[in-house]
Amino acid sequence: MSRPDRGSASYRAVLALPRARGLFAAAMLARLSYGMLSLPLLLSLRQGTGSYAVAGTATGLFGLAAALLGPFRARLVEGRHAALMILSVCYTLLLASVAAGCALRIPALPTVGLAVLAGMFPPPVGPLMRTLWGELTVDEEQRQRALSLDTAAESTVFALGPVFGAFLITFSAAPMALGVCAVLVITGFSAFAAALGRSPAGAHRAAARTPIPRTALGPLRAAGFVPLLLVVLGTGCALSLDEIAVVAAWGAGVAGPVMALFSVGGVLGGLAYGRRQWRATPGRRLLALAAFSSGCYALPALLYAVPGAGVALLLAGACTDALLITSYLLVDTLVPGGSRTEAGAWVNTAYNLGTALGAGGAGLLIDRPGPVAVFAAAAVPLGAATALGALRRSPLRRGGCEAAVLTGRQPMVSDAVE
């Protein structure tokens, strides 16, 4: 199915692309603010409102607004790159206002309102960076390496971010830690915008952009894209079901190290996946990874013990990061140019909605059938999405490359930046 990479598309070669290092480093700095945010925001709101219930609700609404409006912010930035800094400034000011309001203990309603409003403005760094990788790289193999490196780095940042956030809260107040996140936002996105303006990809895009008809559905109209989103949604749902089942079965003290294995598996699996040259098309690889992932998520129902859950989540992490990398590759194949940043944001939204749905489903199942049933149920949404994608006429089953013809998109290599 695969063979070792003997070409020049190594991770070192990817970082040696013109301006790639500057863009990548700036994107990682911007992502760090997102990785650190969860604990400082929750505990700041708790300090400011005096209630965990209010703080939790406000944090949930913040996340919901960020997820649901992500594709529309991405569309805005893709059409007008100046919008990136406008969103960054608005987001920074709102986070700083929430931090100040919590520190000064102003009435709860304005503070909660500011927090929910802040969720409408996070700039789309991940989708935009993945679009830039598609423009900087010169062929599919190099693009796969770039997306694998980017996904592994993003997973690392989101795994370590809460640790950094907790460290700041330990040695200062939570609102101070939230203020640090706001500073990281403006610093990271200023650096990212500067690197974007200097990059050959940015110059190429400005010179070569052609008007693309936009509709309310945007990339959702591309053949094969909705089945792709269903697979990603099922993946997020399965992860959330397993995570809550682990907590219910063995407690929070065990859940932390076990879920850390998921992150470790994701980083190692993503990097290993990116180094291979695959004979199967991205669409077929996506379905194979989804099918194997569904088995990994359900494995703790058969091996109902902490070691069994650890091994299952280590494998599931490797498969999930590889699946997300393949999804980002398929965005370049299925979606016409000019809409790929928005399409990448839809992938993120599908994953986040999947985790929210999984959390709700796990809550219903835990009380009655118990954790074993939740582990078994984790395979259901992902398995159903995989079966749908494997239907005979599905563009994913045909492999993705054929679907490019249906969207008017030529093979990826034709979009290479010289």
Per-residue model confidence as pLDDT tens digits over 30-84 = 999 998 998 899 889 989 888 888 888 888 889 889 988 999 999 999 878 789 9
Signed CA dihedral, 152, 153, 159, 160: sign only: positive
The runs of H, that is alpha helices, within 37-82 are 38-49, 52-68, 70-79
User: Is residue 348 within 8 Å of residue 236, measured between CB atoms?
Assistant: no
Contacts 24+ apart (CB under 8 A), 6-12: 6/277, 7/141, 7/277, 8/142, 9/137, 9/139, 9/141, 9/142, 9/144, 9/145, 10/145, 10/275, 11/145, 11/148, 11/149, 11/271, 11/274, 11/275
**Where does 234-393 show beta strands of DSSP type E?**
276-278
Would you place residue 208 in the very low, low, confident or very high pLDDT band (cuts 50, 70, 90)?
very low
For 384-399, the pLDDT digits (tens) are 988 888 875 666 666 5
Q: What is the pLDDT of residue 415?
A: 27
Domains, the chain: 14-209 (1.20.1250.20), 217-418 (1.20.1250.20)
pLDDT of residue 16 exceeding 80, the answer is yes
User: Is residue 382 within 8 Å of residue 234, measured between CB atoms?
Assistant: yes
Residue 162: which H helix or E strand, with range?
Answer: helix 140-171
Strand partners, 277: 3
Would you place residue 205 in the very low, low, confident or very high pLDDT band (cuts 50, 70, 90)?
very low
User: Is residue 306 within 8 Å of residue 254, measured between CB atoms?
Assistant: yes
SS3 of 394, please? coil
pLDDT of residue 240 exceeding 70, the answer is yes
| Exposed / middle / buried, residue 57 (Cβ in 10 Å: 0-12, 13-18, 19+) | middle
pLDDT of residue 411 exceeding 90, the answer is no
pLDDT of residue 114 exceeding 90, the answer is yes
Q: What percent of the chain has pLDDT over 90?
A: 42
Residue 396's identity, in one-letter code, is L
Q: What is the pLDDT of residue 337?
A: 78
Signed CA dihedral, 80, 86, 90, 95: sign only: positive
Give the distance, in angstroms, between the CA of residue 125 and the centroid of all CA atoms in the same chain.
10
For 331-368, the pLDDT digits (tens) are 988 888 788 899 999 999 999 889 888 887 887 787 77
50 Rama class: left (phi>0) / alpha (psi -120 to 50) / beta: left
